[in-house]
Amino acid sequence: AQSVTQLGSHVSVSEGALVLLRCNYSSSVPPYLFWYVQYPNQGLQLLLKYTSAATLVKGINGFEAEFKKSETSFHLTKPSAHMSDAAEYFCAVTFTGGFKTIFGAGTRLFVKA
């Protein structure tokens, strides 16, 4: 079955520390992959997306993600966390053959001063 798994429902980092949010998908064919961020009481905003071009994708707000086919992963990173990064992050996948996007369960990022 097609699925998206985000490891860790909560991640806490100190301001200035590396942010690493993990996402794995299950599919025999590389899908299209997305990372979204959701701030409280708001909709989702696209951070970045992978569409089979470069495997290292740069997004907004200093975030980037690397597509690793051998590991079926698309982890999100940011070298230095900022307080404003505190939010919930969703990994999402669009699989071939369908017009629907499957979202991971989300990871809530906490940033400590």
Out of 1, 40, 43, 69, name the contact with other proteins by CB under 8 A: 43
| Nearer to other proteins among residue 55 and residue 96 (C-beta) | 96
3-state secondary structure the chain: CCEEEEECCEEEEECCCCEEEEEEEECCCCCEEEEEEECCCCCEEEEEEECCCCCEEECHHHCEEEEECCCCEEEEEECCCCHHHCEEEEEEEECCCCCCEEECCCEEEEEEC
Site for other proteins in 59-98 (CB under 8 A): 90, 94-98
- Which part of the chain contacts other proteins (CB under 8 A), choosing from 17-25, 28-36, 58-66, 78-86? 28-36
- Which part of the chain contacts other proteins (CB under 8 A), choosing from 18-26, 58-66, 68-76, 102-110? 102-110
- Which part of the chain contacts other proteins (CB under 8 A), choosing from 14-22, 40-48, 54-62, 72-80? 40-48
Phi, psi of 84 (to 5 degrees): -70, -10
Q: Which residues bind other proteins (CB under 8 A)?
A: 31-32, 34, 36, 41-46, 49, 51, 90, 94-106
